[in-house]
Amino acid sequence: MASSMTMTTSFFGSAVAAKPATATTRRSCQLAVRASMDLEKAVAAAAETTNTRRGLVLAGMATVAASSVAKAAVADVDNLLGGWTPLPNPRAPEIVNIARFAVSEHNKQANTSLVLDSVLKGYTQVVNGLNYRLILSATDERPKPNNYEAIVYSKDASLQLTSFNPLLQ
């Protein structure tokens, strides 16, 4: 989903061309256009200088800067919207409470008696609210715990179990 810019520099004719690749979000498209405009200004300034080598170095630096800004902005947008971001501490009390809720809801829906052992991994996804994808360990009447993936949707301080599936061992 990341967009990038294709830029070429000719050291023989001091020409620099910038062509934005297909943009996936409105914000990344705006940043790519802004970076292209900044690059064109740098190229124009470089063309006005009498020292061609200095102008080429400045144009090359502008190219690198514009590309870095566009890529960083797209990465931030991709992480915020729709992508799964790992939780820094899946064993935090609020995450464990969400996992307990998931196990309790699954027990009600499937008429089982699972007991939460621990949360192994966790991820969040920003949607119209927040999705939690938790990999957890739970035990039933068998002594060996099983791993499950639970997805819980959270919005306005309410929780809803979206899915609860066993993972293959």
- What are the structural domains of the chain? 5-81 (no CATH), 85-166 (3.10.450.10)
The pLDDT score that the predictor gives to residue 4 is 46
The pLDDT score that the predictor gives to residue 10 is 46
| Number of alpha carbons in the 13 Å side-chain half-sphere of residue 39 | 27
Mean of all residue pLDDT scores within the chain: 75
The pLDDT score that the predictor gives to residue 141 is 83
- Can you list the residues of the chain whose pLDDT is less than 70? 1-81, 169
The pLDDT score that the predictor gives to residue 139 is 94
The pLDDT score that the predictor gives to residue 38 is 65
Return the residue matching tokens 């190229």: 43
